[in-house]
Amino acid sequence: MRRRHSYHRDEYGHSVTVNVRSGRLTETELLVDGKEVGFLRERGTGRLPRLLSGELPGFPARPFTVRLERPKRGARETACVLELDGRDLPMPDLVAHPAPSRFLS
């Protein structure tokens, strides 16, 4: 069975999204403002930590790294962290913890 995770964070007016689809093949896609800037394909569930790099557009451009890792040794869940300007910023999993809809009553 394939599992899907989608991590997202907005910084400096730009969006950073990481989509992970795991199963026999694990595909990890990095998007900046909806455009693919990085992609990894691995057999199996993939090794962690997994790193992808990109940069936020602008002058000057802001380079960043996204790190997928297990928050604790032996944990099953995966955490995603955006490393930007010397800070580690957590990226929430929108699939596991979707934002509540404001249209529900």
> pLDDT at position 48, please?
77
**pLDDT of residue 25 exceeding 50:** yes
90 cis-preceded (ω within 30 degrees of 0): no
Residues 75, 57 contacting (CB under 8 angstroms): no
Q: What is the mean pLDDT of residues 37-42?
A: 93
Handedness of CA 67, 71, 73, 74 (dihedral sign): negative
pLDDT band at 105 (very low <50, low <70, confident <90, very high): very low
92 cis-preceded (ω within 30 degrees of 0): no
> pLDDT at position 75, please?
62
CA distance 50 to 20: 11
> pLDDT at position 2, please?
67
**Which class is 3-91 in CATH?**
mainly beta
Burial of 66 (0-12, 13-18, 19+ CB in 10 A): buried
Residues 85, 62 contacting (CB under 8 angstroms): yes
User: What would the DSSP string read from start to end of 45-82?
Assistant: T--SSEEEEEEE-SSS-EEEEEEEE-SSTT-SS-EEEE
Single pTM value for the model? 0.84
Q: What is the mean pLDDT of residues 12-22?
A: 93
Q: Where are the domains of the chain?
A: 3-91
